[in-house]
Amino acid sequence: MAYDLLIKNGTVVDGTGAAARRADVAISGGKIAEIGKITESATRTIDAGDLVVAPGFIDPHTHYDAQICWDGAVTPSSWHGVTSVVMGNCGVGIAPCKPGTRDVAMRDLVNVEAIPYEVLNAGITWDWETFPQYLDAAQARNPSLNLAFLAPLTPFRHYVMGEASMERAATAEETHKIKALLGEAVDAGAFGISTTILNQHVGFGGRPLACRNASREELKAYANALRERGKGAIEIALTRQIAVLDDEQYELLDFLLTESGRPVTFLALFDRDDIPEAVRNTMRKAAPLLKRGARPQTSPLPLTREINMRNPFSFAAFPSWNRLFVDKSKAAQAAAYADPSFRNQFREDLKKPANFGNWSRINVHEAKSPDLKRLEGMSIADIAREQGKDGVDAFLDLTLKDDLDIEFTVQSFNTRVDRMTEILNDKSVLIALGDGGAHVDMLCDAGYPTFLLGTWVRERQALSIEEGVRRLTSDPADLFGIKDRGRLQVGMAADVAIFDPATIGSSNRGERRFDLPGGAKRMVMPSRGVEHTIVNGEPTWTKGGLTEAKAGAVLRS
């Protein structure tokens, strides 16, 4: 027989953790047809000599909910061997949504995901109202990658409760309706539900994101919707202090595990040199819950991001900055930055141990004013010393001098190699947080799969190639119940990443592109060493470029 595609002479790393082996892989009808020594012919053959043949990577935290409307290739994830993406994260999304409340949904994305409003207004197609209709609309676009969805709690609460969802808990009747809609979403194919308790997740009008107002009675009902169906996972943005699990959050995690009977993945577990034992303490404390299916999420990347002072998401956790998200006009923001009372409140926020106050980590990235160009690359701490100011005044004075156009970078977490090696070798930790569709104008972490394989597998040898691939493939697939992906096995979907183990990698510093709707800026992360990516048997990425194939599907639980 003739196969559709034959991958010859590759080193097969099948995603299970089993030892790599030399084998051919045959694909027919979008499925893996045979693995081994294959002599039959094929319509197309790829010589994978000296290359690794692995399952396509699965990114379980992407925030691509809006981007799939204008970018069926789901870039830049598709450049990195990723064949399936999960969205609907952090309790925020754009379905269900009534026509009269679309502005609320977009403003939620602006504040939580730091996507410019103009981009969303130009790019979202709004060819749905209900969540099942949203899934159908996504499939009708014929995407290049596979799309999987969580049901984010905020739009469901808003759909039932309207503006009250941003102010209070739901009544028993409202809770019943929201639970029914969430159940309908899971029945239609959602792989679970998502929510958040993080202070920086501020929604429309500067008010808490609607899902943050959910009562314990509500959460019990929504978790029970998964228990009743025996499927799905819960994702929750949980640790208000990054990597610090306090008693209240432990109890909530325990509650969700108990009421759902399903896995619960929480974020974010980042190594912090300012609280050196935070991760170790959290993992020790959470150990009983990890045995019951709790999974913390981390990224293998050191987190360096741009700070845009017109969209200052990085400071959203500070109470003093709430006013910046109520009136986002340039005049109002400039007035806030100049206000001595605002500055003093910010200083008080910075005194709290949980909050960032190390100005040596914030550098001037780019200034528009010629008078400030000499400061590019300098830290705020150095500039403050030079000018005889404290960090707050130096930082905000620069912002005002550059008419709010100045851009900074901040180096935050995951910088200690020994501690990151420890975290990445803990099999209870989910490697994730690509965030490719969020914070698009200040950072891009979507290249973490190639960074993991290049930096942590090849260069630092912190993980074996087999374990590195498993953590990117079958591990997230099993957590969310994506049954036919994540492994190279006969009968499974033919999602395949073929890469050069000698060159695979990516920089953790993004590049600027101006390819969003309306020509808006975003940061992207190019890849190295990804030779071919195959989705449902069709090559979507070959030799450094996207093909015209649109073989992706909406995955349904």
* CA–CA dist 27, 48 (Å, integer): 14
- Helices 216-229 and 172-188 cross at an angle (nearest 10°) of 30
Task: Please give the backbone phi and psi of residue 36, each rounded to the nearest 5 degrees, phi first.
Answer: 150, -150
The pairing of strands 146-149 and 82-87 is parallel
pTM: 0.87
CATH code of domain 57-300+418-450: 3.20.20.140
Each domain of the chain, given as residue ranges in start order, spans: 57-300+418-450, 305-411
Burial class (CB within 10 angstroms; exposed 0-12, middle 13-18, buried 19+) of 526: middle
* CA–CA dist 23, 10 (Å, integer): 6
* CA–CA dist 182, 189 (Å, integer): 11
* CA–CA dist 141, 110 (Å, integer): 24
Q: What angle do CA 311, 316, 317 make, to 5 degrees?
A: 165
**pLDDT value for 355:** 46
Number of neighbouring beta carbons within 10 Å of residue 293: 18
Number of neighbouring beta carbons within 10 Å of residue 329: 9
The token duo for 106 is 């977009």
* CA–CA dist 429, 423 (Å, integer): 7
The pairing of strands 294-298 and 304-308 is unpaired
Residue 527 near residue 510, CB atoms below 8 Å: no
Please, which residues bridge with residue 151 across strands?
193
Low-confidence ranges of the chain (pLDDT < 70): 1, 353-357, 508-509
